[in-house]
Structure 1
Amino acid sequence: MSEIVALSRQYFERGWEMRQGIWNKQSKGCWEVRGKTLGIIGYGHIGSQLSVLAEAFGMRVLFHDVINIMPLGQARQVESLHALLRQSDFVTLHVPELPETTNMISRGELAQMKRGSYFINNARGKVVDIPALIDSLESGHLAGAAIDVFPAEPGANGAPFDDSLGPWATTLRQIPNVILTPHIGGSTEEAQRMIGDEVSLALARYLNNGSTVGAVNFPEVDLRALPDEQDSNVRVCHVHNNIPGVLRQVNEVLSPYNVEKQYSEAKGEIAYLMADISEVSPQDVNRLREQISQTNANILTRLLV
């Protein structure tokens, strides 16, 4: 929200000019955000929270997501990305970096945006075609942009942000009404504390329940916690190579038992299977682990009792 206001009022530029000793009071090209349309691409946790704040600023909110989501407040989901781009005065990205989102905003998408609109990316650097964005800004089609993430970033504080990262860096730094920040979207004391809490809870959920929801580079699998009162229940957590025939081998091992729940997910070359089985005697637990661990695709097998 601060970047939306800063772009529409150009106060990032005016503040920099003041530091150079230049008094440049003007209203040309400066707009109120009240009554304007904000288009949110990705209506997850951050996108939905943003929509509530934007409505409090008097903005109309549209959003686009790959799944149908119940909106908060008066926000409205639109049927396509292009429909959102055509109607929005401000467009902001809140999507993960995936093969299908790489360069999802490029020349065709930027051309769909309103002339004089603004673009914000605080999501992932590879989601946006930076040279295409530069062309849209230099031509005047876009009135401004705010970018916190980049396809390539310096490895440490103090390293240069220049063309060693990409041929676009120097040009991007010279375009007016472009806010560039060093990937600080989550860099507050409160956010870092919450990240620490979230990571430790995610690790505890994996160790105690086998859940991997929220993992970045691992298949996301989750089952509800095992009932405490059923001591004969066992949860199989099987990490394996993503090759054909694994489920058949594992299910042959589990065939003497009642499989109450089973869920498998793959990501690239790695797959993860969780299964809850009942009426397992304590003597059978180690035997089950050994049999599943001996399958040809096994990487790691844990049994939770």
Structure 2
Amino acid sequence: MRVDRNRIRLTRLGCVETALPVTPALSALGLAVGDIVRFTPYGEIERLPRTSRLARATSAPPFTQVLAANIDVVLLALPAPAGPRPHVIERLAALGWASGAKPCFLVTKADLVTGEALAELRGAMEGLAPGIPIIVTSADDGSGVQELRDLIAQHGTAVIIGHSGVGKSSLLNALLGTDAQAVGATRERDLKGRHTTTHRELVELPGGGCLIDTPGVRELGMEVEAGDLERVFDDVAQVAAACRFSDCTHAHEPGCAVVAAVADGALDADRLSSMQHLEREARHHEAKRGPQQRDKDREWTRKSREYRRARGH
């Protein structure tokens, strides 16, 4: 499947492609790349249940954008020259866990930094988002490309998510061995790039598996559950288990173990601040969706968690 702004291209069994204009009825299905659909005898299209989805919060209705569906691996792309950025690392990790797929950090443009800089970035990722594997790559010299190719072939379908200019299209070209995707230069002052990918598309890789390429995004709005944040902020969650109240906000309640741990230096104050910021953002997004959409999303979350448990996540 490929999703453009005004057209959706479906691939049927047997590799027969069907291009459909985005009509109101088709738009109502909320199709995303990776979705599996069924054509009814009456010519209608039915979207089958999803096993996973990668989504972000948006400012316009329906306040959610599904970037990819039925994925096995979410590649969280960060460019090595940007260095450790704790808030970006934590945000990407939370979105990765929330997808229901296996998250994996993808360091790009590794050839542009020193070994010491890579070690610092890896250490930050391991400390801020424990339990998520890391693959260090360079599309220019080919390092890490085979490791990434093997990961995708092993798991099936992967999607890359990251801000504009992180090098997603260049890496896809390296995986394909061709210049299938256009690439653009990044600005030297901030290492950011333009949107060279303008659509979302599932691409079959020659070594096995598929990769969903997505346009770079300016903002990665939070659409996560509390449990997904706890997986990222496991250090805070462990301390919070000793709070007097189970619904403690770690702000003003008596007997708050988290506030006490921050006060005596046992817990990093920045970690608590980051978690609370993401929690507020996620609650704000949930409030905008309305009760009907929230009920739908809770049902998806329930099914997603069952899927994760079945896979041993």
Structure of greater relative contact order (alpha carbons < 8 Å, 6+ residues apart): 2
User: What TM-score, normalized to structure 1?
Assistant: 0.28
TM-score between both structures, scaled by the size of structure 2: 0.28
